[in-house]
Structure formats: structure tokens, C-alpha cells
Amino acid sequence: MSNPHGTGADVTGRARVKMTVNGDPTDVTFGGHKTLLEVLREDLNLTGTKHGCELGECGACAVLVDGKPVLSCLMLAVEADGAKVTTVEGLADEARLHPLQEAFADCGAAQCGYCTPGFLVTAKALLDAKPKATRKEICEGLAGNLCRCTGYIQIFEAVETAAAKMAADGVKK
Amino acid sequence: MMRCPSFRYHAAKSVKEAASVLADEGPKAMLLAGGTDLVPNMKRRQHMPAVLVSLRKVKGLRGVKIAKDGSATIGACSTLADLALHPRLAKGWPGLSRAVSSIASPLIRAAATLGGNLCVDTRCNYYNQNHEWRESISFCMKAPGPHGTAIQEKTHGTCWVAPSSPRCWAVSSTDSGPMLMALGATVTLESKARGVREIPVSALYGDDGMAFLKKMPDELLTQVRVPAHAGAKSAYWKLRRRGSFDFPVMSVAAWVKLAPGGEVEDARVVLGAVTSRPLDCPEAAILLGRKLTDESIAEFAEKASAHARPLDNTDFQAAWRKKTARAFLAGALKEIRGDDKATLGVLAQRVMQGASCLG
Amino acid sequence: MVKRSGFREKWGKMPPGRGVGLACSTYLTGAGHPIYWNDLPHTGVQLQFDRSGAVVAFCGATDCGQGSDDVLAAMIAEVFGLTTNDIRLVTGDTGITPVDLGSYSSRVTLMMGNAAIQAAERAKALIAEAVSKKLEIPLDRLVFAGGRVFDASDPAKGLTWQDAVIQGEAMHGTLGSTGSYKPPAVPAKYKGGGVGPSPAYSFTAAVVEVEVDKDTCFLDVKKVWIAHDIGRVLNPVLARGQVEGSVYMGLGEALMEESAFRRLPANLSGALVHKQPSMLEYKSPTTLEMPEVDTIFIEDPDPNGPYGAKEVGQGPLLPMPPCVANAVYDAIGVRVDESPITPEKIAKAVWDKEHGREGRFGPKDFPVIEWPEASKVKTPAEGGDGTASNEKPRKSKLMASGFRLAPDSPGAKVEGVRS
């Protein structure tokens, strides 16, 4: 496979990137037209990240790229070369759930669960940026994620619960 | 499931390299920055570039520099989230800060760039649909050109919004464009053929839903320069149904310089999302030398709102958007005058929402 | 509700542009008849016991986020005095579970819950018989609680749950049980009487406070108070989630969600095309549109519900559109009689009112419908038996071919429900 430009799709339509996914160095070859979402789900079997509207209108596919919450359905996978990607699978510490995951379960913040991975990673970025986020800040920070089941209130409460627990435990980012 | 068409990918390392690829590949190549507008368009087959030139690894296109003269130079690839959170922008140019923090959603602002928003494709609810939907009613005139690229060429399709119209009426949907126009900003364009040129933001746009950009396909928009605010005030009011996600369906960008006595020394007001380009309101001249009183504001809003002649191709009824333009024109000036948020009405409180903690 | 929201102090007394509205609604808890009438139960639960003490419940009910798995485990755990963590569930796979008709019509908690209780009570009887014999404790003194089976008059005397199951298996062989549920027969025997009856009905009352912008008629919902008669709350967190989710969906319907079509010009094709075929255009409220919600549960156990519980999944949605419409009227004095209640419609009604017409937007009258003659049915108090006095005898082709309607015998007797 020759590629004069180092990364990305060549004339054969295949592309190869090296990225860090949930802490693991990952070298993956894939159809060069794919989005990061498609590569995560189809080539790396990380199906926790959900395929929602495909057009940036719902937030279900959010992942962290270099710590920023972005929509993996709108990021071409070739663009992730060299990036640090965190998906919902990367939140738990081995068998120990992230405080956000625990709080989402306890507070009823997940019903059908389809939006949950997107909410979890966005909420993580939000608490990383603002560990003592107010209700208003949580509401504004999560305004790019749609939830059809909960009416959001229990999601806000879960983020607040997790924030309090993380503050009490001194959990690092 | 919608997938992108295939393309060749070129990750440029420098502006010069990117300009060289654009020159070599011709109009079948497109620039890729945040991708939040281009990728959906590719999935819907509105754009099918053979080559994508990525700006992600180009150095020097990000960040804000405030010069000694007080002007700000903003790299075109700065993300909207970074700009929304930039304290000096918020202080000196609150209208710009609010315009960028009102774009789409926090998740999109984390990836989308200022240059991308300035060049964002015009929108129309007959056009922003998937390939099959558009095909089923037969494609409108704003179809992909022969190479499926940046140059949209008029096909034999009709305009579904105004079927007898010879032109496309897709709506300018940039939030930063109207505000930067009102602030008197310029953009720097760079190409292999023409080198570097700096033009006012107002000269960036053409009044046509397809040929809406005066930037040539081989040019890169590299930076935006905003003149020193020098005490002038700015405000941005955006109409949309929801507080997040939605594109503007009418917006008012206002910039006013007041004399110590409160008389208007200079003013520029630009309407966004009412036609295919941000629309300057020359009626701002009637404010000159007058104080921002209820009467002068009402007179201005009444006259300037005549420019808002929206068509039925976005959210909200066109007639109501037009009526709302008057309220928004007045509201933005009242905010600049320093009116209390509470007196400006419930829609104003929505409009005046600031950046989220994610930018 | 009125008290909690301060409705009387607010209605008609708030500053211009602000107002409150009130609306009430009722909803069914599952339908009395399945879509294709037959004699079969609407749901079934099968339990399997292991000498390790493990309890596995099989049921076709599908948890799509509403929490039916939690209800299933809770019903069984309650009967055996266990916790929900002690019950393993196999649900939704109709290849290996008894049939449940599905997650619709707000029916699962009531129907599956009753079936689960029936299955658990049947198994409990088998285990109780074995423990009673082994420990020589009279059956009526046996208590299943706290993971043990013991003598009510001497709590120290008893067995752990696992040992009790072992005794049951030793006496009866491999332990298993089934339960099922069919709603009580519908008393109405007249034509159309089988449509809509339910084993239980929920009731909801809501108050909404809104603000309408005077210049643009833009509508903002400030707060929602909602009270729901749920019979009994089985899981407070999940039940509240159902109410808040319903409020959210109801507000979406009331404020912005619309499936609109438009016709292309006749000289081009005249086709009818969907105006909002994407999630960006079919607007659902975001976090920023969701108001504060004050949720109150009214617990009045229903005799037909499992431990008195009835539906919560859909009923709380219903009062939202009329509530918002009433609040808009209180705020700005005009009525919008169709959803969504958009600023454009409010503005049109305001304009009409200012120009001497009625301040009202929406359909002007109810469509003319040729109704057939009404059925005349005497009430039970008048000695009626559910038949209509003016109805001609019917015999459908289906019945002539030997198909039987559900018998009128009282169905779905649930054994041992404690309420």
C-alpha cells in the first residue's frame, strides 16, 4: 500500500492510522472513507459508542478526542491519526465503574440507554473542565446530547451525584 | 446508514502545501477543517470531493493574538469552543463571543472552526436532505457540480422554494459572518496563483445560494482580523427554535460606537440568515448623531426590518421571522444601550445565553 | 396539585405575559382484549429453582428502558422475601420464555407483575409445604423474609432460603412454577364494548407555568407540577423517570414536534413531501428547553394491580398539551387549539384579537361525522347486564366458522396477592 502523504486513504481506498484508544496504542487499517465512529464500531469492535443521527444532530456518538468531546460521526477516521481517543468503554477502571457510570445507574439517568454513552463521555469532559459545575452549567454543557426517555432531570442529578463523589474521593481526571 | 463517498486524503503540513495541492488538483479538491458541515454534506452526497486537503496538522492556523493596537487576529482553524471560552474576546467583542458560542451544540463547537463557519454551506430545507429524498422530488438546482466539489454549478434542476426563480435561494447560515461583518473584520485568503490577499468579510459573500462565497476554490481562508473595539459595543441576537443544535433562521449582529454624551458615532448592523448572504443594513446611518432612545431605535428597527424578506425554506414561518426581525433589531440595540436583561423579554433571555463550560 | 403549584394565587393574577394552566387526564393500564381476540393469557412467567437457591425467571416482556425487568425481579423477590439481586432474569427472548404481548399500552407492570406473583405464590406453596413438614411448623405461621423461611412465633426456628429450596426439591422433585395473567372479562356485551376497557386506570393532574414574549409571542415553559395516581410506586427512581420522560415528550408535542408535509407545485409534480425528515428539523427539546418538574405520586393501591400498582409510562404525557394551551391563554389571552403551540400561531391569534376577531387559532369546529344510532345500555344499578336494548343480534362470519370469543367467566384470578 503506497501512500505518498504518510497517512490517510490512498488510491486503493484503504487507510491506516495509529492512535491511542482507551489508553491502548492502536494501529488500524480500514476503508479510508470511514468516520471515526465507523472505525471504532466496525474495525475495533468498540460498539459502546452509538450510531445515532449520523449528521451531528443528536450527540449519541460523542467520544473524547485529546480530551475534547466531539462527535465521532462527523470526524473522518483518517483525521484521528496520532490522537488520544476515549470511548465509553474507557471510562471504567477495569471492573470498577467510573463514578459517572455508577451515578447514572443509581439515579435512573439511563432508560433505553442509547444516548447514555454520549452523555457519559460529555459529562466526563464537563466535570474535567468544571469539577464543581452548577445545575445550569451541566444543563448548558449537555445541550449537544438529546435524550428521548428521561426528560434530562435525572441525568443532571447523576452528574451532580458523580461530581460530589469524585470531589469526596479525590478522583483524578 | 449513510456513509461518506471515497476520497483521497492529503494531510497538509503547511498553508503553502495545502495551497499547492488545491492548485494542482483543481476544483475536485476540498479543504477539510472541523468537518462538521462538510462530512454531513458528503454523507448526503451534496459534496463528493475526490481529494480532501486536511488542515488539522497545519501549524499556525490556531489561536488568538491581540496586537498592541488592540486588534485581534484569529487563526481560521481555531475551534469555536476555544473562541467561545476566550476571555479577552468576550470582554472586547461580546457580540462575537456570543455568536460563536451560539453555533450548533457544544459537541460541534469542540471540532468546528471559525473559518469553517464563515464558509458554511447555505441551507434550505429542500436541499439539506439525504440523496434519496432529493432524488425523489428530482434534484433542485443546488446540486453537486460535475466533480461534486466546492463549485456548485447550476444544474437543470428547478428551485423548489421559488420555482420560477432563475437563482438559488438557500439561506446564509453562518453566525460568525454577520457579526464579523458588523465588527468591520477582514479575512486573509491565500492561494498559489494569487498569493495572499486580505478582503473585508463583507466582500467574502455573494448573494446567491450556490455562489455564496467569493473565495476562490483554490484559496485558503487563513485568518480573521478584527479591528480594535476601542470602546465600541457589540451584540448578537440569534433566532432559532431551540437553545442548541439549530442553525440561525434570522439573526442580528450590531456594532455601535457611542460618543461620551451617548450619541451614536458609528454603527453597523447586519442581518443574518434572511437571504443567501449576511445583509448589511444601511439604515444604521439614521442612528448617527442621535442617542439610542426608544424612538430612534424603533425608527431604525422599522426601516431596517424591511430588508428581512425570508422565504419558506427554513424553520419557522417566513412572516413571523420577518416580524421578529424588527423585535431583534430593536433588542440588540437596547442591549447595547445597556438595558437590563429582565426588561428585554423572555426570548431575549434565551438569546443572551452565554457560552457553556465546554465552550 | 393546585395547592403545591399555588395555582389559585397565580391564575389570572400573574403579570402580563405570564400565566399558569391546569389539565387532568386518565389513561388505561393495558387493554382488556388483545388485538386479535382469543382465550390465551396476555403474559406468562416461568420460574426455575436450583438447589443452590438460585431463582431464574423467564418472561417474554421486553425492558426497553422503562424498568420492566426491575418490576419482574421485585415482584418475585417480594413473595419470597429476597432482594432483586437474588433473582436472575431471562426476558425478551420468545424462543425460550413464555409469551408476553409486549411493551405497549402501559400494560407490562400490571400484567407481567400479576403473572410473576402467581408463579411465585405457586412455588412458595410447594416450598412452604416442605419446610412446614421438616420443621414441624404450621403452614400459617411460616414467614418468607430476609432471605429466610421461619416460624413467625419463634423467628430463630427456620431455614435459610437455600435450605428451604433444598427441602422443596427433596419433597417435590425439581422445582418450577408458572403464572399467567388475563384481564378480568369485560362486562360490556354491546357492539364496540370490547374496545378500550382496562383492568385499571391511572389519573394525572398537571399545572404548567409559562411566559410568552410580548413582542414575538415566543413561548417559554418555566415550571411543571405534576401529580400521578400510580396505585403504588414499586421503584421510586424509575417511576419518577417515567413521569419526567412523559412530561418531556408531552412538552415536545406541545411546543415543537411536528410531522408536517407540504405539496410541491402542481405544475411540477404536486407530490406531498415530508417537511422535517431529520432530527435537526423534527425538533425535540434539548436540555435547555426542559423546565423544572415537581413530581408527586398519589398512592391508592388498585385491587387489580400487582401490590396495587398501575401504569406510569404514558399517562403523565397526556395533560401537557392542554396544560400549555391553558397557560398560554392565562398569559396572553388567546387560545391555540392545535399542537404544536408555536409562537407563529400565538402571534396570529393575538393579531386577530387586536383586530376585533376571536383570539383563537386552530380548527374552528369539529368535523361532521354521521354517527350510527347510540347503543342503549342500562347501568348495573338499573338492572342492566351489559347488553344493549336496541342492538340487533349479530353473528359474524368468523363466529359461524367456529371461532370463539373470550368466555365471560371471570378471568385472571390471581392467587395469593397481598395488598
C123-172 confidence digits (pLDDT tens): 999 999 999 999 999 999 999 999 999 999 999 999 999 999 999 999 99
pLDDT score recorded for residue C411 = 38
Average pLDDT over residues B240-260: 97
Q: Which chains touch B (3 or more CB pairs under 8 A)?
A: A, C
Distance CA B123, CA B109 (A): 19
Which residues, other chains included, contact A173 with Cβ-Cβ below 8 Å and sequence gap of 6+? A128
Q: Cell 431575549, residue?
A: B348
Q: Is C261 at the interface with chain B, CB within 8 A?
A: no
Q: Say if B108 is an interface residue toward chain A (CB within 8 Å).
A: yes
> Does a structural domain hold residue B290?
yes
Question: B74 CB contacts (<8 Å, ≥6 apart)?
Answer: B63, B64, B83, B114, B223, B224, B225, B226
Mean per-residue pLDDT, C260-273: 84
CB atoms within 10 A of CB C193: 18
Domain ranges across chain A: 14-90, 99-169
Chain B touched by A50 (CB under 8 Å): no
User: How far apart, in whole angstroms, are the C-alpha atoms of residue C126 and residue C130?
Assistant: 7
Say if B3 falls within a structural domain.
yes
pLDDT tops 50 at residue A4: no
Terminal CA-CA length for chain C: 27
Which subunits have 3 or more CB–CB pairs within 8 Å of chain A? B, C
Domain residues for the domain of B131 are 1-354
C71: helix, coil or strand? helix
B346, C343: Cβ pair inside 8 Å? no
Q: What is the mean pLDDT of residues B300-305?
A: 96
Whether B359 maps to a domain, the answer reads no
Which numeric CATH code is attached to A14-90?
Answer: 3.10.20.30
Q: What average pLDDT does the segment B33-49 reach?
A: 95
Cell of A155: 441525568
H helices of B289-317, in order, are 294-304
Taking the C-alpha atoms of residue C206 and residue C317, their distance in angstroms, rounded to an integer, is 10
Query: Which of A55, A149, A152 minimises the CB distance to C287?
Result: A152
Q: Render pLDDT for C278-290 as a digit per residue (tens, 0 to 9).
A: 889 999 999 999 9
Contact C111, C75 (CB under 8 A): no
What CA–CA distance (Å, rounded) separates A158 from C66? Answer: 18
At position A112, the amino acid (one-letter code) is C
Mean pLDDT value across residues B125-138: 89
DSSP C185: P
| Residues β-bridged to residue B272 | B251
Q: How far is B37 from chain A (nearest CA, A)?
A: 8
pLDDT at C418: 38
pLDDT confidence of residue A47 = 98
**Rounded Cα–Cα distance for residues A73 and B36 (Å):** 9
Q: Do A151 and C245 touch (CB under 8 A)?
A: yes
User: Which residues contact residue C158 at a Cβ distance below 8 angstroms, ignoring those fewer than 6 apart?
Assistant: C131, C135, C137, C143, C148, C149, C150, C151
- The arrangement of secondary structure in A99-169, i.e. its CATH architecture, is Orthogonal Bundle (1.10)
Per-residue pLDDT tens over the stretch C330-358 = 999 999 999 999 999 999 999 999 999 99
| Digit-coded pLDDT (tens) for C68-111 | 999 999 999 999 999 999 999 999 998 999 999 999 999 999 99
Output the average pLDDT for chain A. 92
Residues of C in contact with B138 (CB under 8 A): 269
Q: Do B7 and A32 touch (CB under 8 A)?
A: yes
Q: B12-16, B208-212, C3-7, C390-394 — which is least confidently predicted?
A: C390-394
Instruction: Please report the pLDDT score of residue B146 as a whole number.
Output: 55
pLDDT at C35: 81
Mean pLDDT of B324-339: 96
Q: Is the pLDDT of residue A168 over 90?
A: yes
Residue range C201-235, pLDDT digits in tens? 999 999 999 999 998 999 999 999 999 999 999 99
Chain A residue closest in CA terms to C313: A149
All partners of chain C with 3 or more CB pairs under 8 angstroms: A, B
Beta bridge partners of B12: none
Q: Are the C-beta atoms of A28 and A17 separated by less than 8 Å?
A: yes
| Residue B46 per-residue DSSP state | S
Into how many domains does chain B fold? 1
Q: Which cell numbers hold the place of B191?
A: 492561494
Domains of chain C (ranges; CATH) run: 2-29+200-361 (3.30.365.10), 43-181 (3.30.365.10)
Which residue among A55, A58, A149 places its CB closest to the CB of C245? A149
Q: Which pLDDT score, from 0 to 100, does residue A5 have?
A: 39
Is A140's pLDDT higher than 50? yes
**Given pLDDT bands bounded at 50, 70 and 90, which one contains residue B154?**
low
- Among residues B258, B186, B199, B196, the alpha carbon closest in space to that of B226 is found at B186
Give per-residue pLDDT as tens, A54-98: 999 999 999 999 999 999 999 999 999 999 999 999 999 989 999
CA distance B76 to chain A (A): 18
Instruction: Tell whether A42 lies on the interface with B, counting CB pairs under 8 A.
Output: no
Best residue in B323, B347, B353, B356 for a mutation probing chain C (most C CBs within 10 Å): B347
Q: What is the 3-state secondary structure (H, E, C) of A19-43?
A: EEECCEEEEEEEECCCEHHHHHHHH
Average pLDDT over residues B282-308: 96
Interface of A with C in 124-163 (CB under 8 A): 139-140, 142-143, 145-146, 148-154, 156
Helices (H), chain B: 15-25, 38-43, 80-84, 87-92, 94-101, 106-109, 114-118, 131-136, 176-182, 294-304, 318-337, 346-351
- Can you tell me the distance from the alpha carbon of B171 to that of B178, in angstroms, rounded to the nearest whole number? 13
Please check whether residue B102 lies inside any domain of the structure. yes
Q: Is C273 at the interface with chain B, CB within 8 A?
A: yes
Give the nearest chain A residue to B37 (CA atoms). Answer: A74
Whether C403 has a pLDDT exceeding 60, the answer reads no
Smallest Cα distance from C55 to chain A, Å: 23
Kindly state whether C258 is in contact with chain B, defined as any CB-CB distance less than 8 angstroms.
Answer: no
Would you say residue A6 has pLDDT above 80?
Answer: no
Any bridge partners for residue C45, and if so which?
C59, C179
Q: Which of B75-79, B342-346, C166-170 has the lowest mean pLDDT?
A: B342-346
Measured CA to CA, the distance from residue C214 to residue C206 in angstroms comes to 25
Interface of A with B in 66-125 (CB under 8 A): 68-71, 73-76, 78-79, 81, 122, 125
Q: In this complex, which of C218, C220, C277 lies closest to B129 when CB atoms are compared? A: C277
Inform me whether the pLDDT recorded for C114 exceeds 50: yes
Put simply, whether A57 touches B (Cβ < 8 Å) is yes
Mean pLDDT for all residues in chain B: 94
Structure confidence at residue C186 as a pLDDT band (50, 70, 90): confident
